[in-house]
Amino acid sequence: MSARRALSRLCVQLLAIGFVLTAGLLLAGPTAQAAPNAGSAAGTDGLDPALALAYTLAEREAQGAGVPLWIVSGYRTPAEQEGLWQDGLRTYGSPDVARRWVLPPNESTHVSGHAIDVGPQQGAQWLQANGSRYGLCRMYDNEWWHFELATAPGGVCPPILPDASHR
């Protein structure tokens, strides 16, 4: 083997090693960044499995694009929702007005595991623009943070309702 040929062969081997190392780093990346994701991973607990999967995939794409996105509130127990409902009744004075912002436990899609509230606003905007690829849709005009699995992946989201009282 000529020196020149040996050299070019060495270069190919170095390239291959570089590729493997790079691929390894890329694969290790999400693990190394597990800490910031830990909260959102816990955030899918109790959710309908299809919603949890759709959101997890969407969040991965958002974060890959440098967009922050996490679950602020996902599944809620009936007792937690009852507390929010009572707060709403006190704040808004009547069930009719309170229902625009919060629903009682037997009607809340958070209690049934079919809704997520996300943040920050930048992430929510990304999800509104891209979520339908995963079937995720913004539901209410007055809640930029509230999303549900409301279409098939790649489908068209239903019209956004004015607020939760219009369900």
Residues lying near Zn ion in the complex (CB under 5 A): 115, 117, 146
Smaller CB separation from Zn ion, 20 or 42: 42
With beta carbons less than 8 A apart as the criterion, state whether 133 and 153 touch: yes
Q: How large is the angle between the packed helices 34-43 and 3-32, nearest 10 degrees?
A: 40
Secondary structure of residue 22 in the 3-state scheme: helix
Closest contact distance (angstroms) between CB of 25 and Zn ion is 37
Closest contact distance (angstroms) between CB of 98 and Zn ion is 14
Smaller CB separation from Zn ion, 99 or 146: 146
Retrieve residue 84's tokens. Answer: 């929010």
Smaller CB separation from Zn ion, 63 or 110: 110
Instruction: Give the Cβ contact number of residue 74 at 10 Å.
Output: 23
Closest contact distance (angstroms) between CB of 107 and Zn ion is 12
Give the C-alpha separation, 153 to 165, whole Å.
26
Residue nearest Zn ion (C-beta atom): 146
Closest contact distance (angstroms) between CB of 133 and Zn ion is 21
Smaller CB separation from Zn ion, 107 or 117: 117
Of 143, 142, 126, nearest to 134 by C-alpha is 126
